[in-house]
Amino acid sequence: MKKSQAPNTAQANKLFFLTVLLTIAGTAIFGTRLGMGTNLWFNEFLYILLPPLLLARLRGWSLEEVFKFRGTSAKNYFLSVLAGVSLWAFASYFANMTRLFLDSTFGPVNLTEGINSLESSLYQIVLFLVGTVVLAPICEEIFFRGFVQAAYGRYSPKYGYVITAVLFGAYHILNGLSDVLPAMILGAAMGYLVYVTGSLAASMLFHATANLSAVLSGLFKGSISPYPAGWVHLGAAAALFLAVLTLSQVEGEPEPEQKEPLGGVLFLVLTALLFTAAGVVEILARMGRLSF
Amino acid sequence: MKKVVFTILIVSLAIGLPFMVLDFLYKGAKEFRVPEELEKLVVDLGTGERDGELLLERYLPVPSTVELFFQSNTEGPKHLRLKSEGEMLGRTTPEVGFVVGRYTGTQSASASLVLAPGRYALYLTSGKEEGQLIVGYREIPIDQAEFARLSKIHGGDLNNPPSGYKEVYSAHLAGLDAHDEAIYTISTEKALDLGLSIYTSAQQGTVSVDFVGSTFRFRGLVSTEHRMCDQLELTLPRGEYQVKLSCQEADGQLYVFLKEGP
């Protein structure tokens, strides 16, 4: 039987379930032992990057064709950076508002353990920064926009990137409930870039820019009030408008895909159950009914 | 593009792996560092699970400040609970809980509590893990007049600052809605010794007072659970510092006192 030259949704859903399971188990078992920086590297290399690359190797897929390992125009690169900064600004505002809502509704969550592991070592800080700005944009883009979106593009040629964005956002529940919707918004933008340009480079650049903005803003976190002033709401709306305007200027022609049925639904349901459990655990922890 | 991506990944690994090894060695070199002046109690966590096991029982003949210090070289949470027969000044109930994770080297959990005469005891709930929990403790008797002052504050008479401290802020918290609002700002052009005493009688709602500088943030100096922060002494480098209040649906009062200089 001839092997398919692109991933399908059954493979994407199985691998996504495996990645989520490995991330949860790996972080629970090794997280505090490794430290926050090293654990991020394990997550990106072993649980996110390795599975799709191994599958591609086993199936003999071309990375350039299947995962869209291609460049794009200088204009598109520039627009990706601009959109990355502006949409991150909006997503960051949105995450902060969600966090405030969760804090006031269910109570605050205590994450001092992870912070302690970062504060304890300069090596962990360097690993965390490189992991966030360099590794995450490459590994997560290969997995989500390269692999998962390629599969869902065959299920829904027009909205495959939107479904991928939902999965990308849901995956971020492991960072906390407040990160889910902002990650979905950023994921939709990165998926759109790949959908239109046919290039993973554009979304990697967008992702790196957004993460770098997050790191730089983190340096000032202690001196910024979490309660936004009036101008911050307007600024966030302006950032969203700028991001949409920028993305609308990106040039390219979406590649036609052949529509295929959805597969691996059981694994999708199991993944959804894992995410639901993660959300419930966070809410119980916020309500003081669980402690770690 | 494939070459560029894989080159970045390989270069990152080449740089990152030595960092991971160095971090591992750095962690391995960490040991317990209990201050010499403290009595030390070592608990072997590998002997079994513990569910509220009594670790330490002491009797205070006079009012005292009890200083506690915890370190452990195991990952799992160790839940410690200190219960006092007499009053624990500044707290709603005469007991307090601590959760200790992996704290070695310069990392530790510590607390300083003012207790009325009587017995106090420390209990541990933990899983079975190969490693140790170190408890350091010290009791320092308090002068009767000083204990009387703190007891007044504990009883709700907040306007009883230590000698040399001046009131910089006071408020009735009922109906006050503040979100990280600066209630006092200090600017200094040179290094400054500062003493900070904050008291609240709030028993409901949310109250939190933070002390914030450009490079640090002391969170929750007082809250409805922990209502006294007495004579927190700091040496501050030049810069601007703020006392910030968050308060919703609270009751009672809040007083902030400062002392500048040694």
CATH number at residue B92: 2.60.120.680
pLDDT digits (tens, 9 = 90+) for A64-110: 888 888 889 999 999 999 999 999 999 999 998 998 888 888 877 65
Residue B123 covered by a domain: yes
Residue B168 covered by a domain: yes
B-chain residues within 8 Å CB-CB of A226?
A: 180
Residue A227 binned pLDDT confidence (cut-offs 50, 70, 90):
low
Residue B219 binned pLDDT confidence (cut-offs 50, 70, 90):
confident
* Max CA separation in chain A (angstroms): 62
Contact: A222, B75; criterion CB under 8 Å: no
Burial class (CB in 10 A: 0-12, 13-18, 19+), B188: middle
Q: Which of B110, B142, B174 is the last residue of a domain?
A: B142
Residue B3 covered by a domain: no
Q: Could you list the residue range(s) of the whole structural domain that residue B46 is in? A: 39-142
Residue A222 tokens, joined: 């202690």
Q: Which of A49, A116, A127 sits opposite B19 (nearest CB)?
A: A127
**Closest chain A residue to B76, measured at CA:** A292
Q: Which of A154-158, A225-229, B71-75, B159-163 has the lowest mean pLDDT?
A: A225-229
Question: Do B130 and B219 share a domain, yes or no?
Answer: no
Question: Do B124 and B206 share a domain, yes or no?
Answer: no
Residue A119 binned pLDDT confidence (cut-offs 50, 70, 90):
very low
Instruction: Count A/B contacts: CB-CB distance under 8 Å.
Output: 76
Contact: B79, A130; criterion CB under 8 Å: no
A-chain residues within 8 Å CB-CB of B75?
A: 32-33
CB A149 within 8 A of CB A68: no
pLDDT over 90 for what percent of chain A? Answer: 59
User: Hey, which of A137-141, B97-101, B174-178, B208-212 has the most confident mean pLDDT?
Assistant: A137-141
Question: Do B132 and B194 share a domain, yes or no?
Answer: no
A-chain residues within 8 Å CB-CB of B5?
A: 69, 138, 142, 204
Residue B188 binned pLDDT confidence (cut-offs 50, 70, 90):
confident
Question: Do B164 and B256 share a domain, yes or no?
Answer: yes
Residue B219 tokens, joined: 């969170």
Question: Do B49 and B127 share a domain, yes or no?
Answer: yes
Question: Do B133 and B51 share a domain, yes or no?
Answer: yes
**Residue indicated by tokens 């810069």:** B239
Contact: B20, A32; criterion CB under 8 Å: no
What is the C-alpha to C-alpha distance for residues B148 and B143, in angstroms, rounded to an integer? 9
Answer whether 0.95 is exceeded by the pTM.
no
Residue B13 covered by a domain: no
Residue B34 covered by a domain: no
CB B37 within 8 A of CB B138: yes
Residue B185 covered by a domain: yes
Instruction: Give the CATH number for residue B255.
Output: 2.60.120.380
For the beta carbon of residue B61, count every other beta carbon within 10 angstroms. Answer: 9
In this complex, is the C-beta atom of A288 within 8 Å of any C-beta atom belonging to chain B? no
pLDDT at residue A167, as a whole number: 96
In this complex, is the C-beta atom of A121 within 8 Å of any C-beta atom belonging to chain B? yes
pLDDT at residue A112, as a whole number: 41
Residue B16 covered by a domain: no
Number of domains into which chain B is organized: 2
Q: How many helices (H) and strands (E) does chain A have?
A: 14, 0
pLDDT at residue A243, as a whole number: 95
Per the document, the length of chain B is: 262
pLDDT at residue A75, as a whole number: 95
* Cα–Cα–Cα angle for A140, A158, A87, rounded to 5 degrees: 50
Q: Which of A134, A201, A225 sits opposite B180 (nearest CB)?
A: A225
Q: Which of B84, B108, B142 is the last residue of a domain?
A: B142
**Closest chain A residue to B218, measured at CA:** A222
Amino acid at B195: G
- Nearest-neighbour CA in chain A from B1: distance (Å): 6
